[in-house]
Structure 1
Amino acid sequence: MARGGQGLARVAVVVRAGAAPLWWCGVFAAGIGVLVPGLTGRRIGVPAGAALFLVAAAVTACVRRKRYAALVRSAARAGKQDVLQDRAVTVRNWRRGHRWWLVLAFLAALGSSFAVPAAGGMLLAGVGAGLWLKAGWLGRRERAGETLIWVRVDWLGRRAGAPAGKPVKACRATGVAAGDAAPGGARRR
């Protein structure tokens, strides 16, 4: 790292990093859970899972929006000496830091199918969909402001925590051409 510089990771990429694994773990758990009749039966489990999916997606997409908006508004310009982390590195760090939580969430969703078929998996998939929605919301804010929002890597912690968590005191901003991820954290085409 350059002298005086800090490693920066894209906020939208960190948010989006958990979307795919949570979505697919939820889809697989729900698919396997449909095969198990469970205590309540499929007639109750699947509609309950659909309701949980919608609630989880909405809550995940909306939680901490004020904090994200405040960090985006107060973002200072990144310096020349700051090092921008690649999208692939950010995603890999998040997934490595959370792999055991993903396994436990998958097992819990699968285990809940014995009580309420498919509901746990659909809940997990809803959280993944909510993260995609939140990353899309951040992408729209980045496009509107014509800036990309970054957070210091050391503030994310060992496990690549939340980019709007307590340790995060401020964000940095760059132009939309910086980095290898498009606004919203998707791969740049």
Structure 2
Amino acid sequence: DTLWNNLKAKVRNQIRKGDKFDLSMQWGGMDLLDDFYDVFAINMRDLGTPVYPRKLFAQIVQTFPDTAELGVVKHEGQAIAGAILIHDPLRESGGITQVPSASTLRNFNHTNANMWMYHHLLCRAIQRGAGQFDFGRSSEDSGTYRFKKQWGSEPVPTVWQYHVRRGDINAVRPDSPKYKRRIETWQKLPVWVTRLVGPSIVRGIP
């Protein structure tokens, strides 16, 4: 109730819209990996970003079975959104829950599944005893930054240090103009291709 009452009216309204589509939230581990990764891979392709390997998430869930879990949103039996949560109880403030990765299928944006899912992620963190929720990093004033701010999150500056052997650090930013055509090409590839070659590419992306 405290979480709900602290949300802005616009956010609460978007969550209620998701309720109208009879969405369901499932929690688990390896049993949900295929559903989660299918959604994740499609979303990364749509964003034009090489995808992490499936085995990365498998190893996280298998290595930390008590603190890592997958959440999958389903609509009429189909997985349309998913996230991985990592719960860290070893904090004086009552623990912290992190969401390293979350994705939603664009074809289901009309269901407000993303807002609906994040509300359930926050509720899950509270259930697991978390006093804080880490939404992950974002560039200031970006779309993802504004999305996270609407939940009442407070930004914490991070310091990035680079060693650039040659060239300009701005040249490796994902929004660099030189990557525009590559991103557009990636978005047109079949998902199975991006799942095959993406992991070998993403290793070299900071």
Same fold (TM over 0.5): no
Structure showing the higher helix proportion among its residues: 1
Structure showing the higher strand proportion among its residues: 2
Q: Smaller-chain TM-score range? A: under 0.3
Q: Larger relative CO (CA 8 A, sep 6+): 1 or 2?
A: 1
